[in-house]
Structure 1
Amino acid sequence: MSKELISMLSSRLVAVISFFLALTLVKGFEGTIGVNYGTVANNLPPPAQVAHFLLESTVINRVRLFDANPEILRAFAHTGVAVTISVPNDQIPDLTKLNFAQQWVEDYIQPHTPATNIVRILVGNEVISTANKLLIVSLVTAMETLQTALVAASLDRRIQVSTPHSLGILSNSSPPSTGKFRQGYDTHVIKPLLSFLRDSNSPFMVNPYPFFDCSPDTLDYALFQPNAGVFDENTQLFYTNMLDAQLDAVFSAMKLLGFDDLEIVIAETGWPSMGDATQFGVDAKSAAEYNGNLMRHVTSGVGTPLMPNRTFETYIFALFNEDLKPGPTCERYFGLFRPDMTPVYDIGILRPTVAAAANIQHATCLLIITVGLLIIKNHG
């Protein structure tokens, strides 16, 4: 075999392998990366169109809803997409009553399962951070009652029950090894909640947002960019990004209560692509850096300094820019996509076309056959 031919085949083989590695990395996001599908907007496409778009054009196969919208649940029927739905905060006190919980399951779950792959129900969102005493004291009982209703409907093995928390549940988070839950809530609410999650084999869910905690001096640290890092003297561990530090602070708080065996799921995190002129690091470039690096990091298997060799199920906020969200400008620009479903920036969410993949696969087969025949001819 000539050196020129070997060189040519080697170049083609390297190109093909590189392409397949890229496809593998993109495919690796599946099953781990989800998206929050918010609907606080008046210009979003119909749910059926959204479901088709996610299934056919993206690598996203997990979706979190902030309610149990029947039209959206029907749209995801027979897609296989794992859907997480939510009970609104104001329904939590009612959910402590078994008849209400059973009726809720009958109304919102049973008409859609198993056609729609509902995998988790979230009871409220950031309930402890609301400081609403009625909601807080009702939370764990509501989760237990909902679980009882799922057992009665033989859905408990299919559907988990959990609730997401803001990092406001921590009284201390820096350095990460000193993380602990707020006094009072730790033993009266969070410990029983963690016991319920362990007993029902459900994850502890958190909403970490480096965006809201960073300053101009820590922007690179928040964006997974090269930076000086943070050293935790207690553990002698070094942190190169803020998300790891936030997750390890939560882990330390859980460990303090004896629940370091529970899975942690990132229910919500993201970065806006536009904001007010007074804000720093609020642009499409920074959003692409955060969300792109986030996806690579949580799926890499590296884990965090205190939780090595883990991947984290992660839901990016949000699927679309939502024009009716209140608050500062940035609140309306967390979307990965515009309402017309064009990407705000490219982070590898969109799938390679089926045609391109098929062509490469065909080229690979031909290349392998060619190399094999040449080797046989040369050495036969």
Structure 2
Amino acid sequence: MEVSYKKITSPLFTFLFISSIFIQCLPYVSSLGVNYGTLGNNLPPPSQVAQFLKDKTIIDKIKIFDVNPDILKAFANTNISVTVTVPNGEIPKLLDIGYAKSYVEANIKPFYPQTKIDVIAVGNEILHWETPEVQNKLVGAMRTLYQALTQSGINTIKVSTPHSLGILLSSNPPSLAKFRPGWDVTILAPMLQFLRETKGPFMVNPYPYFGYNPEQVDFLLFKQNKGVFDKFSRRTYSNMFDVLLDAVFMSMKRLGYDDVDIVAAETGWPSFGESFEPQCTVDNAASYNGGLVRKIVSGIGSPLMPHRKIETYLFGLFNENTKPGSNAERNFGLFRPDFTPVYNIGIMKGQQLLPIPQPSKPLPQPALPQPQPRGPIPVAKPGPIVPAQPAPRLPAQPGPRIPAQPGPKPVGPIGKKFCMPKPQATDAQLQASLDWACTNQGVDCGPVQAGGPCFNPNTVRSHAAYVMNSYYQIKGKNDFNCDFSGSAAIVFADPSYGTCKYLS
């Protein structure tokens, strides 16, 4: 059929034509960041990394976990923005303006502005890992460092700090989320005030991966699913990432700081893991990260933040073969050290974004009339709000754990869950966990003492298993309460035996 000239030039056609061009170009105008970790002995030199990202990918932001001069030099004149990290141990010293100015002179000014440093992260997950003494110095250190920057003539670099989602008291449902009492008024409110004054971002590390269970896989992996309904906000959620972001947003709003920008500083999914980590597959990693990229470039925001740009940094750039922990820790990378992609998620220039993957199993057809979407997914499952507790801080970490520890998981899966030591955990690690949990943490360790029902077998592993699980259960069954510096994991089989009954 012949199409008239008038029809071709109609306003509707013009709008659709321009829209189609915009959508095709969207991946190249939307900001996508990646965490560039360096815990590997086979990684390419920074100069090659910078050239690769600039020439071959749509990534235009990186975040590094130090102030590595080789990386900062390599990214000069690339127009790729860089977020650098001040080590946790520097925080007390940064309260001194003289020291802060010397830090800027040594670590920032030699590379700026040739290298597009846009944010300095003061430490990593300080409220999760550090002592109250360091926590209480964090905001002061941020203010002093910012003052040092401005006195040095630098007024375009923001100062912030990334948080695990252990800062939340609750996140179920997102509309009722709030920060932990104690941290909310004394640390987070002053921090948000500083960020508002300086136009800096509030940085959080949302990891749906750490809340994995088989019942929620489609919701976690951006696959098609029935959705989750928050009856208080009247919003429906299609993925866990939005749930966690909106929980942070509402917590900020309760303090009056919902105007401060939010940055997802770390999020990702490993492509390989141990036998007890069956969720770590290439397909799952591609589904999560691919879904996240689709979301970032779409600009749709979240249910409580529609059309709001959430700057997001995938974790991570490379598989890092010397990172401590399980195999999963070493396989979060988008690329292998030779720059070949571990899987395709549409971040190479010229690639198409992946389509939305199909659900892992057929979705049940709801009976008519159709009810509000609900299901055994976090936020959707009816029930009491599960409070979150601060994650256990065991012997001081050698540095910020990468990737960051999990945030609070809104609701547990169907059935019981238990916290058990990982097979590769050493007796030294387990003894440290045992000693920590039995000291002023509210755990009844009597059952593993001589004469108790769980004393036998008299091994560190057996005793630690009981105590770890007890801590996990009494602190609210949040997945981040079963981490113990990476030495524990969630299991679904009841480990009770004989007269030794595990809490559930």
TM-score w.r.t. structure 1 length?
0.86
CA contact (8 A) 1:299 1:312 kept: no
Verify the 8 A CA contact 1:68 1:85 in the aligned structure 2: yes
Check 1:18–1:231 CA distance in 2 against 1; reply closer, same or farther (3 A cut): closer
Match of 2:174 among 138, 158, 176: 176
Contact 1:36/1:315, CA 8 A, preserved across alignment: yes
Aligned 1:50-129 pairs, distance under 5 A: 50-129=49-128
- The 3 A distance-change label for structure 1 pair 122 and 27 is same
Q: CA deviation at 1:201?
A: 0.6
User: 1:324 aligns to what?
Assistant: 322
Task: Give the CA RMSD over aligned residues.
Answer: 1.9
Measured after TM superposition, the shift of residue 18 of structure 1 is 12
Cα shift readout 1:122-173 (whole Å, capped 9, x = no counterpart): 00011100141122011000000001101101112x1000001111100100
Match of 1:28 in 2: 29
Structure 2 counterpart of 1:251, which letter?
F
Does the Cα contact within 8 Å between 2:167 and 2:180 map onto a contact in 1?
Answer: yes
Can you list the C-alpha shifts for 1:161-219, whole angstroms capped at 9, x where unaligned? 00011111001001001111111011110000000000001111110000001211111
2-structure distance, mates of 1:327, 1:271: 15
> In 2, Cα distance between the equivalents of 1:341 and 1:168?
34
Q: What is aligned with 2:281?
A: 283
8 Å CA contact 1:216–1:280 kept in 2: the answer is no
CA contact (8 A) 2:26 2:298 kept: no
Structure 1 unpaired stretches of 5+: 4-15, 354-380
Cα deviation, 1:70-108, whole Å, max 9, x if unaligned, reads: 111000111111111010111111111111100000001
CA distance in 1 between partners of 2:246 and 2:232 (Å): 13
Contact 2:252 2:258 (8 Å CA) reproduced? yes
Q: Secondary structure at the match of 1:346?
A: coil
- CA-CA distance at 1:26 after TM superposition: 2.8
Q: Distance in 1 between matches of 2:318 and 2:257?
A: 35
* Counterpart code for 1:100: Y
Give 4+ residue runs of structure 1 displaced > 2 Å after superposition.
16-23
**1:9-24 equivalent positions in 2, closer than 5 A:** 23-24=24-25
1:152 corresponds to = 151
Give the number of the structure with larger relative contact order, counting CA–CA contacts within 8 Å between residues 6 or more apart.
Answer: 1
> Which stretch shifts more, 249-258 or 222-231?
222-231
Q: In 2, Cα distance between the equivalents of 1:186 and 1:21? A: 41
Q: Which amino acid aligns with 2:181?
A: Q
Cα distance between partner residues in 2 of 1:336 and 1:166: 22
Residue 26 (structure 2) pairs with residue 47 (structure 1) = no
Report SS of the residue matched to 1:315.
strand
Aligned to 1:296: 294
- The residue identity in structure 2 corresponding to 1:257 is L
Q: Determine if contact 2:61/2:80 at 8 Å carries over to the other structure.
A: yes
How much does 1:299 deviate? 2.6
Relative to structure 1, the CA distance from residue 310 to residue 2 in structure 2 (aligned partners, 3 Å threshold; closer, same or farther) is closer
The corresponding residue for 1:247 is 245
Within 2, Cα distance between the matches of 1:307 and 1:145? 31
Shift of 1:2: 8.9
Moved more, 328-337 or 233-242: 233-242
In 2, distance between residues paired with 1:323 and 1:50? 17
Number of equivalent positions: 338
> Is 1:89–1:127's contact at 8 Å kept on the other side of the alignment?
yes
Matched with 1:236 is: 234
What corresponds to 1:212 in structure 2? 210
Question: For the residues of structure 2 that align with 1:264 and 1:133, how far apart are their CA atoms?
Answer: 24
What is the Cα deviation at residue 63 of structure 1? 0.6
CA distance in 2, matches of 1:23, 1:285: 25
